[in-house]
Every structure is written in C-alpha cells, then in structure tokens.
C-alpha cells in the first residue's frame, strides 16, 4: 500500500523539455503494434499530431437531448469536417453511412442513465468494436467517486487486456462528479491513473495549470468541450488547451448546439490544426456562417 503520510504534489513537470517520440508521431505510442499505430493515425492527423473529434454519444445516458434529436439532420452535415466520430454502436449502425469512411471512437460502456446513479456500467466486447471497424474504444472512469471508482477502473483495465490483442486503442474519459474539484491537481491525478491502467488516449477537461496535466500524462490528452459556451469562448478554450499541449478536442455541444454548427466545426479545426488564434477562428466562423 502506498504511504500516504508524506504525499507531495508533483512540482517538476519538465515543461521546458519536449517529449522524445522515438520514431512515431504520437506520444506514448511507439511500442505498440502496427495495427494500433494505424488506428491512431486515423484519429490524429499525422501532419499535425492533432484531432478534432466530434462527440455525439450524449444520447446513451441523456436520450434525445438538444442538438442530437435527429442524428441524420444535426450530425451528418458535420461529419465531413471532423477527424473522428465518437458515438455509441446503436447510432453508428443506424445513422452513420459506412461510405463516410471516418474513424470511429466507439462509446463502449453502458448501463445507467441520468435517471439513476451514473457509472455502474459494463463494457462491450472488443470483437464487436472490431466488427464495426472502430479505431478506438472509449470508457468512462469516475475517479474520486466512492461508489463507482473501483468498478470503472476495473472496466478500463479489463478492456485494455482485450484491446491489446487486437491492436485497439482505448480512450479513458474522466468523469467529474458534483463533489470533485475541477482543478489541475484532480485532472492530473485522474489522467495519470487512466494512463497507468493502460489507456492510450485520455479525454479530460481543461483547467488552469493544464500544461502540468498534459506533462504528467504519458499518453495523448484531448479535451472535452463540456457545457455550451459562446462561440468565441469555445474557441478560446480550444486554443488554450492546444497551447498547453493537448493533442486535440472532443467536442459535442459546443459544435452541434452552435448557431451555425458547420461553420463552428471548421473554425475549431482552424484553431486545432492551422494554429489560428481564437479571434482568427471566430472571424472564420463569422465568414463561414454567412455561406453555409
């Protein structure tokens, strides 16, 4: 058991030293299989090392929430501009044309909804994800939740055991309960636990001090968009995260609930891949919203 009497916060994050990539362009991935690297290369653009993921898995716990009532109307027009689509298998099979040829990050745990206590979930078999030609599988971790932390960590650990046999990346999604502090110390702890238990990508939230969260996590981090923000604020969130070393964004509501979702996802792409400032991204958004 770890000695908790002299537990000190990390302080030496080596922010002035770049991570040695050792031959493969994604952090922490070099020692994995060819198939694993191929899947990661679909999710993250090799020319930038970044990804704009479009998350629309909200319905698996929330039902037809605003913006995803009709996937065919709200999401399909956005898909061409995303690097990767994140959704549940039911929506992928019923609503997403296989001719889109987009990599899928498959929501792979389920079991509870917003009507009950969340995160009492079980995980999908990896062979089902392979049959859907998924490029990654995503599961939730509830770090700090006494009732579900151990179960969700075990879900990740067991899924990674299976996934490694198929060269399948696993993305761990850090849940934030109402009693959890949304600060760099918590997200650094949660992200590191995800990576230590085998996650090959971590999805977490941006916060002040995010550069330390990224530095102490040995695998790529993408940020969650979270609640709907004004368009410029959402672009500022993307920009700050990328400047701190995030490998991309996995946005949902800040795209599909935008006043012009098609323009917004392209503006996000400009910030993530093209190095646009938030103001330049917002200008792109305003230019596009008058034409799309």
The yes-or-no answer on residue 203 being catalytic is yes
For 232, counting Cβ atoms within 10 Å of its Cβ (0-12 exposed, 13-18 middle, 19+ buried), the class is: middle
CA 45 – CA 62 distance, rounded (Å): 31
Dihedral angle over CA of 150, 153, 154, 155, nearest 10: 120
Check 27, 50, 93, 203 and give the catalytic one: 203
Residue with tokens 């969260």: 213
From residue 155, how far is each of 31, 188, 267 by CA, in Å? 23, 20, 35
| Lookup: tokens for 214 | 């990224």
Q: How far apart are CA 109 and CA 141, in angstroms?
A: 10
Distance in angstroms (rounded) separating the CA atoms of residues 269 and 239:
11
C-alpha 108: how far from its chain's center?
13
Residue corresponding to tokens 């299989």: 33
Degrees, nearest 5: CA angle 88-104-149: 55
Backbone angles phi and psi of 192, in degrees to 5: -65, -40
Dihedral over Cα of 117, 119, 125, 127: its sign:
positive
Tokens of 110: 């389920």
**Active site members:** 203
């Amino acid at each position: 058991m770890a000695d908790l009497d002299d537990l000190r916060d990390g302080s030496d994050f080596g922010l002035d030293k770049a991570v040695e990539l050792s031959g493969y362009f994604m952090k922490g991935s070099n020692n994995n299989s060819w198939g694993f690297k191929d899947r990661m290369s679909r999710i993250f653009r090799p020319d930038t090392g970044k990804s704009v993921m479009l998350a629309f898995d909200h319905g698996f716990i929330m039902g037809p929430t605003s913006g995803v009532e009709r996937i065919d109307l709200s999401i399909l027009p956005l898909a061409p501009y995303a690097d990767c689509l994140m959704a549940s298998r039911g929506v992928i099979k019923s609503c997403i044309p296989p001719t889109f040829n987009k990599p899928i990050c498959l929501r792979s745990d389920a079991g509870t909804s917003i009507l009950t206590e969340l995160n009492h979930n079980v995980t999908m078999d990896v062979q089902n994800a392979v049959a859907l030609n998924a490029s990654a599988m995503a599961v939730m971790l509830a770090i700090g939740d006494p009732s579900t932390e151990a179960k969700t960590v075990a879900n990740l650990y067991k899924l990674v055991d299976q996934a490694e046999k198929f060269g399948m990346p696993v993305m761990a999604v850090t849940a934030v309960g109402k009693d959890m502090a949304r600060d760099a110390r918590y997200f650094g702890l949660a992200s590191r636990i995800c990576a230590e238990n085998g996650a090959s990508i971590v999805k977490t939230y941006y916060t002040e001090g995010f550069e330390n969260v990224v530095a102490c996590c040995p695998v790529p981090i993408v940020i969650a968009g979270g609640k709907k923000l004004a368009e410029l604020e959402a672009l500022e969130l993307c920009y700050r995260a990328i400047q701190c070393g995030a490998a991309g964004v996995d946005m949902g509501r800040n795209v599909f609930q935008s006043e012009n979702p098609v323009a917004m996802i392209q503006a996000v792409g400009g910030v993530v891949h093209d190095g646009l400032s938030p103001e330049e991204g917002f200008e792109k958004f305003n230019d596009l919203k008058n034409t799309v």
